Amino acid sequence: MSTFDQLVERANARPDDVATVTALAEAAAARQAEHIALPLLTAAAERARDNALLWQWTGLLHRAIDQHESALAALNAAALLAPEDARIAQGRAQVALEAGIDAVALFDTAHRLAPSNGDVLLGRIAARVAVGDGATALAELENLLAQHPGWYAGHDRLVHLRWMMGDRARAFETLNRTADAHPQDGRLWRTLVVALVQAERYDGALDAIRRGRAAVGESALLTTNEAAVLSETGHVAAADALFTALPAQSDISVAVRHVRHLLRTGRIDAALPIIERWLSPRGPQRAMWPYAAIAWRLSGDPRAAWLDDDPAFVSVVDLADRVSDMTRLAIGLRGLHRAKGQHLDQSVRGGTQTDGPLFSRVEPEIQALRALIVEAVADHVRKLPKPDPRHPLLAFGRPDRPRFAGSWSVRLAGRGHHANHVHPAGWISSAFYVALPSETTAGGQSGWLTLGAPQAELGLPIAPARTIEPRPGRLVLFPSTMWHGTLPYRTGERLSVAFDIALPFD
């Protein structure tokens, strides 16, 4: 009997033992078994009505499975019992934010109780943006960074917020100025360089690398990013020299960038040994599978078909007749697109993406869509081929309750598209279409989903293995390690929902 099963047995035998029930809650959260612990935990909290910890754990477990209304009710009860508990206040505010409820006042309370907690400060910034007060959020973040120049997460958030709000000209201004004012702080240079590379501001990244190296000396991070930028900009020999000096065998991020460089320059045979060294269905090594797909296809390796070509890996499910009010859903989603531009580090081109977990919101139309999608994903999982411990999709158990690792909406304008990309930290990825321009349904393949074609920046002769026509109410599911993107279209609005299913616990 596992330790978890023993805790369940003890909690059933001693349901009023607070220590046992809270230990069960903690164990359930760690192994994605919240649904097993919640009935026992809720009953214990209702019997011991004055125990804030039990209510707090009840809220946290509900939150983990996207039951945010129940989570907020439990955390409200915990806050009434322990109004000065900073962690309860923070959890309550975060759950309200994720649920789509105005959480600014709740974060104010959490900040009063924990004034130096950076996560609380970032939560309050996000809450202001969520209610449409981006200007105040930016000003507050600027002021905080002036007081705390070494707050790296705050700098990163300011860059992303300015970019998303359309102020690209000033996106890196504060971080650049702070790095120059504190040149010995290597993490400031790291934050600046990574953000510039994400934004594809390659000249700026090379300048920051030069300045950072002059201030703090050589570092693997600076060299890795310099090599990647030189590769992206066509300086092959210079990139070769830097990659040769880097410890490719000890860092997956270095290995992936080296493989990208080798594939881009047509050296498939040199890339293959590095790829083979890093392949694993679990952990950060999952980032290498998309490049294995490319290299195997280009080299004629039969594992390319094993990795991506089974028809059961992709499902196309039409849910239009089960969505009660597609117009209301579209109106609600449009209201969430408050950004003025794409996110800094996402695949959207010519459009916007919502912030925060979409399926945690409590609006009825979003919860109804979530319920339909959970059912469709569970059916897709049941139909997958038999387990294969070597495969990045098939190496896992088949949960009855799929969990979301992220969910969002994308709104593309004319000429908008998704650049080809992957989500290797996820298990199953998706596209659900809500509204489409007439162009995408009038013949041709404008706006269609593509599967299997790598990033255009790699310049490789690999056409999509499959293209799928978008239709309102259509859901497409595919492995998260599979390259995917969309073909551009000329005019109109393309409104969709997307999500990643989390890797199962087992």
- List, for residues 180-234, the tens digit of each pLDDT value: 999 999 999 999 999 999 999 999 999 999 999 999 999 989 999 999 999 999 9
| CA–CA separation, 271 and 276 (whole Å) | 9
Domain membership of residue 175 (yes or no) is: no
pTM of this structure: 0.92
pLDDT over 70 (residue 341) = no
The closest of 337, 338, 354 to 346, measured between CA atoms, is 354
Is 396 domain-assigned?
A: yes
Q: Is residue 226 part of a domain?
A: no
* Domain interval for residue 461: 311-501
> CA–CA distance from 314 to each of 123, 380, 418, 431, 450 (Å)?
36, 8, 19, 11, 12
Query: Is residue 260, in this structure, part of any structural domain at all?
Result: no
| Cα distance between residue 14 and residue 48, in whole Å | 13
Q: What is the pLDDT of residue 356?
A: 87
Lowest mean pLDDT among 42-51, 198-207, 345-354: 345-354
How many angstroms separate the CA atoms of 340 and 356, rounded? 16
| Domain presence at residue 322 | yes
CATH number of the domain residue 420 falls in: 2.60.120.620
357 within a domain of the structure (yes/no): yes
- Give the DSSP H/E element, type plus range, for residue 378: helix 364-382
* CA 496 vs CA 318, 362, 409, 412: distances in Å: 14, 18, 6, 9
Helices 52-64, 86-98: crossing angle, 10 deg rounding: 30
User: Number of structural domains, the chain?
Assistant: 1
CB 438 within 8 A of CB 459: no
- State phi, psi for 479 to the nearest 5 degrees: -65, 140
pLDDT digits (tens, 9 = 90+) for 261-310: 999 999 999 999 999 999 999 999 999 999 999 999 999 999 999 999 99
Report pLDDT digits (tens) over 384-428.
999 999 999 999 999 888 999 999 999 887 666 668 899 999 999
- In degrees and rounded to multiples of 5, residue 428 shows phi and psi of -130, 135
SS3 168: helix
Nearest Cα neighbor of 396 from 429, 430, 427 is: 427
Q: How crowded is residue 108: how many other Cβ atoms within 10 Å of its Cβ?
A: 14
